[in-house]
Homo-oligomer: A and B are copies of this chain.
Amino acid sequence: MTTATLVPVFAALGDETRWSILAALGEGDASASALAARMPVTRQAIAKHLAVLQEVGLVEPVRVGREVRFRVLGSQLSETARRLDEIGAEWERRLAAIKQIAESL
């Protein structure tokens, strides 16, 4: 996973409604209609959010008869967390180095 593919993932995670959807899916796969039934937004709104989440690989569609259930992919989330942690660690190393240089002056 490169930084380029990482940014859209964060953009996807930067929305409350999508977190609600992810949380709901965490309790079991569900269709857009099923999600809309217990959330204060339209089915179409949910469908768009699901499209976004699918685009960045956070969710996966599973066709079951006439309905399309969505499954949350926790691995993608862990992967993202790992990359983020690497970046944070890298910056902390740099900052520590700078600080040491400053103290040795």
Contact = CB atoms under 8 A, between A and B. Distances in A.
Contact of A72 (B74, B78, B91): B91
A75 B94 contact: no
A33 B13 CA distance: 30
Given A8-B14, A11-B15, A19-B3, A74 B88 contact: yes
- Copies, count: 2
A81 interface: yes
Q: Is the interface of A mostly helix, strand, loop or mixed?
A: helix
Interface residues of A, number: 35
Contacts of A10: 10-11, 13-14
A75 B98 contact: no
Interface string A1-31: 0010001101111111001000000111000
A16 B82 CA distance: 19
A74 B98 contact: no
Interface in A78-105: 78, 80-82, 84-85, 87-92, 94-95, 98
